[in-house]
Structure 1
Amino acid sequence: MDFVKADDMLGPYFTSEIAAYQDAIGKSGRDMVLSLSPGRVLSLAHLERLRSNAQMWRVSDDLWDNWDDVEAQFARLARWAPHQRPGTWADADMLPLGRIAHRAERGPERLTRLTADEQRTMMTLWCMARSPLMLGCDLPSSPPETLELLTNADLLDVPKASRNNRELLRDGDLVLWAAESTTTADRFAAVFNTGGETLEAAFPLGDLGLGERASWDAWSAVEAWSREDARPGTAASGSVSPASGLPGGVLQCAVPPHGVRFYRFS
């Protein structure tokens, strides 16, 4: 056995039972991952105890394929992301993508009810927060679009090798996250729109963690879902050119409802 999932352990927090699981694993003579859930009332006060006894712990109740469940994870992951470290991970729950409810625990068998933008938002948020990525679907009968979501190389580099993952800004429907690569000089930024209308946003590059005087002379950027060049004035970016009066060190984007723009800066 390699993976043990212990349910109903965190709300309330069952201190002695969790320690007993870890004690039994320790006596087994081999490594196993202990995953604890659920965690809707899980407090950071338990952080050191969790790190000592488990490798994963859920930070919410069961997550399903509806926007309210996804949106609720923003605040939770903003609290937990700064505390992620190798071997001990706050878990935002499985990804309800593709064909789910194969045996219909809740609702009929179906393709996920999340829109394409909501699916990209969920994948991006989970990666930026370095949540474990576990798939909650029947993969063989899921559409090709599901595989495209799961194989975005730029996005997957964030959970593989990044640091300083954090929420930088929350202003109404606008949420901004940033992170830094640990293997290159690259930086990552995700602009989320949790509202129901398209959102226009503009950020000085310095506000994205690229340095106080960062400019497009020093950085290039690609929006990883569309593969568009993000530099102002480029044909693909849809951005306003510097000649319009915007300074050269500004990222400008339009984010669809419940959507995201994810940028890799090099």
Structure 2
Amino acid sequence: MSRALFTATALAAASLCAASPAAAKTAFDGVWLFDKAPPMPGVTMMEVRSKGAKIEGHVTTLWYGPIEMMNPRIQDGRLLFEARNINDRDHPTRPWSVSLDKGQAHLKGRIWASEVDTQGYRGTTKDAKARTFRFTALPPLGQPIPGKLATTPPMGWSSWNKFAEHIDDRTVRAMADAMVSTGLRDAGYLYINIDDGWQGKRDANDMLQPNEKFPDMKALTAYVHSKGLKIGIYSSQGPRTCAGYEGSYGHVAQDAKSFADWGFDYLKYDLCSGEWFYADADRVKRSYHEMGAALQATGRDILFSLCEYGRFDVGSWGRDVGGQLWRTTGDITDDYETMTKIGFDKNGNPAHAGPHGWNDPDMLEIGNGGMSAAEYRTHMTLWAMSAAPLMMGHDLRETSAETLALLTNRRVIAVDQDARGVQGKAVRKQGALEVWAKPLADGRVALALFNRGAESASLELTAADAGFSSVTQVEDLWSGATAAILPTSYTVPAHGAVMIAVKGQ
């Protein structure tokens, strides 16, 4: 929404409040209230006014505030209009309709993933005032925020891939216990991150409270810290999170202080419904800077994870708004096609990655069961070569020996965590085969050979792939085997990967 349109919508909201049933010029004019609309997008009110043949109006929602009626007109006894449909390039607008029956307004429409099919009744000017969406001003973009955290890509666990919004205090504690008992903590995985679904309502002072699944946040963070781990939390700059819970819109500094007071060490900040309000690069940057500055003002070290799906070349400004990692893509799912599309093609510009700032192709799916052993090895190899954050997403209590071996291989983790902080990239492609290189701090170069095809295939790796004229040592990073020279060729299974480190000159 442009600034002019945003302002116009706000003014329209205010002026429509003056409408009353008595002043109606069409049967649809006036205030209509909705009490039983689904929570997504949370329709609360519709306001319509007409002057001659011109009709104006909007639908107020909890998620997106006022949704302007585009091209409103009356046809066959119904009020028809279009609404902007965020985040859907194939359907930038969606049709909506209103029909009247026995004094009730039947509103139907769709926005993004939300279907609206609900009945409303006439309201008053007083009702409209009570339900009018309250906009909040977005501060100007401040000075770059210096970063001192995440010298290497963060490692840990996040609740979303396995539990979605069905997460609770007991499960978080169990994940912390399992992180320790499995040896994952000692392998470098430190963060236990609560994703969406923890939020309750705001109290009389507008302080956001956790819901009944999280009875005591301070006690929970203390428990996780007692295990030698750190703990993260989740929010959105919009009025609602992706799962429909309370966001930080209008309460950014307040929520940052709460996160710090509770003892959190990490915040994932997800654009979600905020993309309705912050739909261009300038406002998206400002919305992340607002939270980045608020986190810094708390005085607590809180890792800041930007989740805006790779829009507006986020890697070029992520550090400036206080971010230590930034998503480069949409959500991962537990299948080879999505994982490889993200990992090979949507993993961000390598020039943007390095100490204190990392391209984030999303969480690991290893252990969730949707891919083969070879595909999960590709997943781990690709994320390590990309210097990506390693955030597990399975139930840690159900970690098989095979999964644990993939996730705790010290040689592979060392490539991801290498102090030089270089993001690897493809140096050679031959059909379905790709060779990637990643220079390491000790002078060696990690090489990965990926087979993206459906059949086993062979390829020779050369000293030139690593930028050397000759190779003096080879280490297989998955098996630990060493050799003085490269073999004639490597045979890689379908959807599999080979990963080595070479020393040379």
Normalised to the residue count of structure 2, the TM-score between the two structures is: 0.43
- Residue number in structure 2 paired with 1:196: 454
Residues 224 and 262 in structure 1, CA contact (< 8 A), matched pair in contact too:
yes
Query: Residues of 2 paired with 1:253 and 1:22: CA distance?
Result: 46
Are residues 1:115 and 2:378 paired? no
1:129-156 Cα distance to aligned partner (Å, 9 max, x none):
1001011011121211111011112111
Question: Which of 270, 283, 286 is the equivalent residue of 1:16?
Answer: 286
Query: Residues of 2 paired with 1:196 and 1:38: CA distance?
Result: 33
TM superposition shift of 1:126: 0.5
Residues 127 and 155 in structure 1, CA contact (< 8 A), matched pair in contact too:
yes
Residues 199 and 256 in structure 1, CA contact (< 8 A), matched pair in contact too:
yes
Letter of the aligned partner of 2:351 in structure 1?
P
Query: Residues of 2 paired with 1:259 and 1:51: CA distance?
Result: 34
For residues 201-220 of structure 1, the aligned pairs below 5 Å read 201-209=459-467, 211=468, 213-215=469-471, 219-220=472-473
Are residues 1:180 and 2:439 paired? yes
User: Measured at CA, do residues 83 and 230 of structure 1 come closer, stay the same or move farther in structure 2, by a change above 3 Å?
Assistant: farther
Higher relative contact order (CA 8 A, sep 6+): 1
TM superposition shift of 1:230: 5.7
Query: Residues of 2 paired with 1:135 and 1:160: CA distance?
Result: 15
Residues 154 and 264 in structure 1, CA contact (< 8 A), matched pair in contact too:
no
1:181-232 Cα distance to aligned partner (Å, 9 max, x none):
21x23221000011101111113312222x1x214xxx12122224445666
- Residue number in structure 2 paired with 1:47: 315
For residues 27-66 of structure 1, the aligned pairs below 5 Å read 27-39=297-309, 41-44=310-313, 46-53=314-321, 54-66=323-335
Letter of the aligned partner of 2:470 in structure 1?
A
Residues 38 and 62 in structure 1, CA contact (< 8 A), matched pair in contact too:
no
Are residues 1:129 and 2:386 paired? yes
Query: Residues of 2 paired with 1:207 and 1:24: CA distance?
Result: 45
User: Measured at CA, do residues 15 and 163 of structure 1 come closer, stay the same or move farther in structure 2, by a change above 3 Å?
Assistant: closer
- Residue number in structure 1 paired with 2:340: 71
- Residue number in structure 2 paired with 1:158: 415
Aligned with 1:134: secondary structure?
A: strand
User: Measured at CA, do residues 31 and 163 of structure 1 come closer, stay the same or move farther in structure 2, by a change above 3 Å?
Assistant: closer
Query: Residues of 2 paired with 1:25 and 1:67: CA distance?
Result: 36
Query: Residues of 1 paired with 2:446 and 2:329: CA distance?
Result: 26
Aligned with 1:47: secondary structure?
A: helix
TM superposition shift of 1:64: 1.4
- Residue number in structure 2 paired with 1:170: 429
For residues 230-249 of structure 1, the aligned pairs below 5 Å read 239-240=487-488
User: Measured at CA, do residues 228 and 17 of structure 1 come closer, stay the same or move farther in structure 2, by a change above 3 Å?
Assistant: same
- Residue number in structure 1 paired with 2:495: 258
TM superposition shift of 1:89: 0.9
Aligned with 1:18: secondary structure?
A: helix
Q: Which runs of 5+ in 2 are unaligned?
A: 1-263
Query: Residues of 2 paired with 1:42 and 1:128: CA distance?
Result: 23
Number of equivalences: 229
1:162-194 Cα distance to aligned partner (Å, 9 max, x none):
454322123331111111221x23221000011
For the pair shown, the structure with the greater C-alpha radius of gyration is 2
- Residue number in structure 1 paired with 2:268: 5
1:98-138 Cα distance to aligned partner (Å, 9 max, x none):
2x4xxxxxxxxxxx211101111010110111001011011
TM superposition shift of 1:69: 1.1
- Residue number in structure 2 paired with 1:244: none
Q: Structure 1: which 4+ aligned runs deviate by more than 6 Å? A: none
For residues 80-119 of structure 1, the aligned pairs below 5 Å read 80-98=349-367, 100=368, 112-119=369-376
TM superposition shift of 1:52: 0.9
Query: Residues of 1 paired with 2:312 and 2:481: CA distance?
Result: 40
Normalised to the residue count of structure 1, the TM-score between the two structures is: 0.79
Structure holding more strand per residue: 2
User: Measured at CA, do residues 227 and 26 of structure 1 come closer, stay the same or move farther in structure 2, by a change above 3 Å?
Assistant: closer
Query: Residues of 1 paired with 2:404 and 2:332: CA distance?
Result: 20
Query: Residues of 2 paired with 1:166 and 1:82: CA distance?
Result: 11
Are residues 1:145 and 2:402 paired? yes
Query: Residues of 1 paired with 2:352 and 2:429: CA distance?
Result: 19
Aligned with 2:333: secondary structure?
A: coil
